[in-house]
């Protein structure tokens, strides 16, 4: 029994894919910071963070540092003044293809006025997933 459980665990582990990527956090009153997880050949830079109609709106630039195309997915999460998660963007992971050395911007608006900070997660799209 123990042996079959171990074999099953090994098989399931072999099927899993590493979908970690990188995160950019923008805390209220601080410059945005990139926190690498799994290294991606991608530049990430906050271009703007402002309030429009009392909602936080963030624009981030993603830059492919390779000559070849890369497809990644991105998603915003939002946090209140105490650091509590308010909501994921409400959208599923959004795919974006960046051609060699191309830069593109992504923009999102917080779901409610109590949001003061964000986290942008970016992960690699694995070949078998599209």
pTM to 2 decimal places:
0.75
Between 11 and 34, residue with greater pLDDT: 34
Look at residue 38 in the predicted model and tell me its pLDDT. 65
Per the DSSP assignment, residues forming a β-bridge with 23 are 35, 121
Classify domain 21-124 at the CATH topology level.
Answer: Immunoglobulin-like (2.60.40)
Tokens of 88: 């994921």
Rounded Cα gap, residues 120 and 124, in angstroms: 14
């Amino acid at each position: 029994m123990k042996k079959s459980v171990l074999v099953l665990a090994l098989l399931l582990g072999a099927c899993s894919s590493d979908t970690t990527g990188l995160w950019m956090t923008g805390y209220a009153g601080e410059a945005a910071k990139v926190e690498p997880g799994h290294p991606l050949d991608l530049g990430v830079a906050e271009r703007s963070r402002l309030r429009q109609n009392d909602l936080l709106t963030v624009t981030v630039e993603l830059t492919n540092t390779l000559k070849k195309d890369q497809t990644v997915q991105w998603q915003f999460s939002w946090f209140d003044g105490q650091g509590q998660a308010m909501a994921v963007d409400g959208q599923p992971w959004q795919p974006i293809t960046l051609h060699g050395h191309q830069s593109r911007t992504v923009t999102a608006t917080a779901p409610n006025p109590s949001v003061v900070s964000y986290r942008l997660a970016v992960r690699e799209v694995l070949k078998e997933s599209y």
